[in-house]
Structure 1
Amino acid sequence: MRALLIGHDHLSLPGAVGERLVDHGWDVTELVVVPAERYLEPNVECEFPDPLDWDLVVPLGSPWSVNDVERIGAWVAPELTMLRKAHEADVPLLGICFGGQALAAALGGSVERAPRAEIGWVPVETDDASAVGPGPWFQFHYDRFLLPPGAVEIARNEVCSQAFTIGRSMGVQFHPEITAHELELWLGNGGDAEVRSQGLEPEVLMEEIRREEAAAFARTRVLVDGFLARMTR
């Protein structure tokens, strides 16, 4: 079983999601779209592999917006084409934050600015706790997805849709993969200013994630296990 994990930059790591796939015996390959040396100039060419060569594709988060064509137009359209091809061929997809938004956009939905940013631990209202538990889940986003035709929303809050399923695929708005190490990387590469702009303190977020990490890993294991069980039906 081969899984392709798409990290859109060197700071978007597979974290707890990647670890759980390895626990289940998956052969995990990571593709980094924007290398570290192009982080400030992310409009790079990227040759995405044929998704039919994989049993699972997991597009991860990104500091950019799906709609930010001026900054990432060289690769965002090819990625959406790849995700669409995967879905049409019944290759399961698990889209996380930007990846969930990209999945929605690829299948005929859209992405728009959310009414407010969500940063930190946020509970969600869920229709199926075996698929997406109530959390709290870690959030760090400014945009939100609008569901593609045929998708079923399975979780939400007052800001946006938080999870949907379509076929054998699922998109989530939050970050089940998050670890203390990954958040530290985000904060150390410009995220600290974003956090402060929302009236939050980076040090407090780090304290919270260190306290919450073990419980968050347990919630992610349930999410990944449930997803893998459903995609093999």
Structure 2
Amino acid sequence: MLVHVVSDATDREGGHVTARLRALGADLVDLDRDGLPEPAEWVPGDLLLLLGSERSAHDPAHVHPVVAESRLVRASLAAGVPVMGICYGAQLIARALGGTSWAMDAPELGWQRIDTLDDELCPRGPWGQFHHDTFAPPQTARVLGSTWHGPQCFVDETRGARVIAWQFHPEVTPETYARWVEDSAAKVRAAGVDPAALVRQAKEFEHTSRTAATALVDAALRYLTVH
């Protein structure tokens, strides 16, 4: 299984998700968001995975990499290669397929439970959250989970290959979460949340998050029919 992983050059940490893919024998190839190949020059693998980002998919400052990544998503699906997205990756996929995204009034932080319609592809959690944007999925999508902040999971089966995308962070480890909190400590405090409490929560849920992420990746691969 060959997996192309799209991420920021400054943050390629796929945590529990990429660890599970490697444990299943996958070969992972990193693609830099700011230097993606043109679809005509790209040789698809077996899965395209879009990781999160501190940037916003709706930010005009990032319009060129957003357009390039959106083209890659559509080209992947047209070639019969499924796409998986996390957080920013989910927002990017939504926009690439006709949805949209925007900034929320307040960020969604910490480990939160999700209202779900599918306990395998979108378990209730709790799952790690760290985002200040939300999205509206494409009209062809099925939303499988949500919180009062917005959608948390959607799937799409209309584009030649299947899509699954999560707003929450199944991949995140305590070390990565602590770094996010440190980098955004002022914004976290402005939202009325104690940064130290978030770091403690990440450590508290380390084992259950890893176990849940392993099961989630396995369920997603079955749904996407990636072997």
TM-score by length of 1: 0.89
The 8 Å contact of residues 116 and 144 in structure 2, kept in 1 or not, is answered as: yes
Q: Does 1:19 align with 2:30?
A: no
Partner secondary structure for residue 165 of structure 2: strand
Residues 116-175 of structure 1: per-residue CA shift (max 9 Å, x gap): 320111110111111110011111111111110210010011110110000211111111
Cα offset for 1:29? 1.6
Taking structure 1 as reference, are residues 49 and 14 closer, same or farther at Cα in structure 2, changes over 3 Å only? farther
- 1:137-216 to structure 2, matched below 5 A, reads 137-167=127-157, 168-188=162-182, 190-216=183-209
Aligned equivalents of 2:178, 2:37: Cα separation in 1: 28
Taking structure 1 as reference, are residues 148 and 201 closer, same or farther at Cα in structure 2, changes over 3 Å only? same
Cα offset for 1:8? 2.1
The 8 Å contact of residues 11 and 182 in structure 1, kept in 2 or not, is answered as: no
Partner secondary structure for residue 30 of structure 2: strand
Aligned equivalents of 1:69, 1:108: Cα separation in 2: 17
Partner secondary structure for residue 118 of structure 2: coil
Give the corresponding residue for 1:54: 45
Identity rate, percent: 31
Give the corresponding residue for 1:127: 117
Structure 2's unaligned 5+ residue stretches are: none
TM-score by length of 2: 0.91
Residues 161-193 of structure 1: per-residue CA shift (max 9 Å, x gap): 1100002111111111100111122233x2112
Residues 188-220 of structure 1: per-residue CA shift (max 9 Å, x gap): 3x2112211111122111111111011011111
Q: Does 1:82 align with 2:96?
A: no
Structure 1's unaligned 5+ residue stretches are: 34-44
The 8 Å contact of residues 141 and 154 in structure 2, kept in 1 or not, is answered as: yes
The 8 Å contact of residues 44 and 76 in structure 2, kept in 1 or not, is answered as: no
Q: Does 1:228 align with 2:221?
A: yes
Aligned equivalents of 2:141, 2:154: Cα separation in 1: 6
Figure out how many residues of one structure are paired with residues of the other and give that number: 220
Partner secondary structure for residue 169 of structure 2: coil
Give the corresponding residue for 1:37: none
Give the corresponding residue for 2:54: 63
Taking structure 1 as reference, are residues 147 and 66 closer, same or farther at Cα in structure 2, changes over 3 Å only? same
Q: Does 1:217 align with 2:210?
A: yes
Superposition misfits of 4+ residues, deviation over 6 angstroms: none
The 8 Å contact of residues 114 and 160 in structure 1, kept in 2 or not, is answered as: no
Cα offset for 1:9? 4.1
Cα offset for 1:114? 2.8
Q: Which amino acid aligns with 2:173?
A: T
Q: Which amino acid aligns with 2:204?
A: R
Q: Which amino acid aligns with 1:57?
A: L
Give the root-mean-square deviation of aligned CA atoms: 1.6
Cα offset for 1:88? 2.3
